[in-house]
Amino acid sequence: MKKIIVSLFALFFAVIMLYSAYRLWEIYSVYRDEARLHGQVMEYKPQPAEEEEIINQSVIDLQGKYPDIMGWLTIKNTDVDYPFVWYKDNDFYLRRDLDGKHAMAGTIFMDFRCEKDFTSQNTIIYGHNMRNGSMFGTLNRFNDQTFFDENRRGMIFLPYENIQLEFFAFVVVNPTTEREIYNIALSEGYWDYVKQKARYFRDIEFTDGDRLVTLSTCSYEFNNARMVLVGKVI
């Protein structure tokens, strides 16, 4: 009986070790596959154009390969440097790569309610918070007053337009109970709401016609938390 018990314990620990090894391999595979595809699309990274007529040929070429791509988002001093897509729902690219294949890292995507040309009052872009810093994994750098103060700008490259962003708020919210920040049309009390909820906020000039871009990713601070970085189109 003692030998049987020892054998069962040995078998149990062997199963645990095998499962742990499998999980490590699975996590490594997620990061490897995301890095491989990201490396491929980085060949198409657009560069700021100084010409009066803007043509981002690299984005146009990417759209020829991946029709759902709308543009490219880059934020200085972070690893956010990716193309993003638009699709008819917010579920398809949550766990799929640009090829449409299952991928835990997913793809950075626009909220389907938003206009593809960024004419919505508030355009929302989602990405996973990957623990290795890929996708939106380095947005948490804005959860630091010094970094927030020193890094104000981001850039979106569309096929025929460059959109510069000025970030003014970093917020951590529960999207189930605090959905105001995810509204496509801005409510009358939006500014006061964001200023009140923001962990970091800077006062910048706003007018009624201003457009916003809201970047959202998961946070591990509490259950169902989201980190949100809000910028004004300038």
pLDDT in tens, 167-184: 999 999 998 888 889 999
Nearest residue to 161 via CA among 52, 44, 45, 42: 52
pTM for this entry: 0.84
> How confident is the model at residue 217, as a pLDDT?
97
Give the residue among 130, 122, 134 at the shortest CA–CA distance from 183: 122
What are the two backbone dihedrals, phi and then psi, of residue 136, each rounded to the nearest 5 degrees? -100, 20
Ordered structural domains, the chain, with CATH: 44-233 (2.40.260.10)
Among 129, 128, 114, 119, smallest CA distance to 182 is for: 114
pLDDT digits (tens, 9 = 90+) for 17-60: 544 444 444 555 566 777 777 887 888 888 876 666 789 999 99
Report d(CA 40, CA 66) in Å as an integer: 12
Q: Of 132, 39, 37, 138, which Cα lies nearest the Cα of 93?
A: 37
